[in-house]
Amino acid sequence: MRTDFEDLPAPVLAAVEARTGPILKAEPVSQGFNSEIGAHVSTESGTCFVKGLRADHKRVWTQRREAEVNPFLRGIAPALLWRIEEAGWDLLAFESLEGRHADYSPDSPDLPKAAELLRCLGEIGCPDIELRRAEQRMGRYVNHASDLDHFAGQSLLHTDLNNANVLVDATTAYLVDWAWATRGAAWLDAGYWVVWLIAAGGHEPAEAEQWAAEVPAWRSAPAAGVTAFAQATANLWEEIAGEDWDPWTARMVNGSRRWAEYRKSV
């Protein structure tokens, strides 16, 4: 459930204004449902993007994760401006990007920008901060425990390549929403991208993999690892979808299943 920015407790708003100066306008973002607060906040000195959760929210640890990883993401993600933990809320403010959500459809001019973004991410050394590990996150979803060995690694991964997390301008794509930053095998983010290209972009699996191959790390991914990842991802989305498939999760289940099916034939 979203909370309107203006409805935050007075001490929280006061703490924000102590950083930003008087708030002129707070416009909620329509996309994104993980955060309880998500808004573009304008003041005389400019606009920032603020996201937040209540301090007792079960995913409030993701706020710290985003804050800790942010300094390592220069050039590929908006900079963190401040974090406030006050009166039962945990807020992060980022510099505001002008871009729009990436279009993942075939022939979209955003695809080379997203591939370049993943290439740049691959060049960032994994910071020495607490991160989830890919093989742990996938632990319940693989068909064989030994599949997990393929997912372990020392690379920094984003793992939520939803096109709403990729903001593009005329030349460049940026990656927001690092809540699920993870340590794992270098090629995995290109793998997460494949699922979204199929499910959100309408690509055929072979086409989506051709885009993934624009990311250097993908080209040395072990074929058996990719096949195991496609299957595990399909299992994961089936669990998320549960009994009643809404149209959004149905797209993800069907897309990941199509990829897993395709992998049986390569």
Ligand X SMILES: Nc1ncnc2c1ncn2[C@@H]1O[C@H](COP(=O)(O)OP(=O)(O)OP(=O)(O)O)[C@@H](O)[C@H]1O
Note the residues at the interface with ligand X (CB under 6 A): 29, 31-35, 38, 49, 51, 78, 94, 96-97, 101, 164-165, 176-177, 179
Please give the Cα distance from 207 to 197 (Å, whole number).
Answer: 9
DSSP codes of every residue in 154-180: SEEE-----GGGEEE-SS-EEE---TT
With CA atoms as reference, report the closest residue to 255 among 186, 191, 165.
191
Rounded to a whole number of angstroms, the minimum distance from the CB of residue 155 to ligand X is: 21
Rounded to a whole number of angstroms, the minimum distance from the CB of residue 129 to ligand X is: 18
As to burial, measured by CB atoms within 10 angstroms (0-12 exposed, 13-18 middle, 19+ buried), residue 45 is exposed
Question: With binding defined as CB under 5 A, does residue 189 bind Mg ion?
Answer: no
Site string for Mg ion, 129-168 (x = CB under 5 A): ------------------------------------x---
Task: Count other C-beta atoms under 10 Å from residue 170's C-beta.
Answer: 8
Question: With binding defined as CB under 5 A, does residue 202 bind Mg ion?
Answer: no
Pick the closer one to ligand X by CB: 35 or 231: 35
Q: Residue 195's binding partner, choosing from ligand X, Mg ion, none, with beta-carbon cut-off 5 to 8 A by kind?
A: none
Q: Residue 33's binding partner, choosing from Mg ion, ligand X, none, with beta-carbon cut-off 5 to 8 A by kind?
A: ligand X
* Amino acid in the structure at residue 165: N
3-state secondary structure of 108: coil
Interface segment toward Mg ion; rule CB under 5 A; list 31-39, 41-49, 71-79, 97-105: 31-39
Q: Residue 94's binding partner, choosing from Mg ion, ligand X, none, with beta-carbon cut-off 5 to 8 A by kind?
A: ligand X
Please report where in the chains the tokens 């959100």 appear, as a residue: 200
Pick the closer one to ligand X by CB: 100 or 140: 100
Number of residues that bind Mg ion (CB under 5 A): 3
Q: Phi-psi region for residue 46, left (φ > 0), alpha (ψ -120 to 50) or beta?
A: left
Residue 156 pairs with which residues in a beta bridge? 183
Rounded to a whole number of angstroms, the minimum distance from the CB of residue 27 to ligand X is: 10
Task: Count other C-beta atoms under 10 Å from residue 183's C-beta.
Answer: 20
Pick the closer one to ligand X by CB: 78 or 191: 78
Q: Residue 49's binding partner, choosing from Mg ion, ligand X, none, with beta-carbon cut-off 5 to 8 A by kind?
A: ligand X
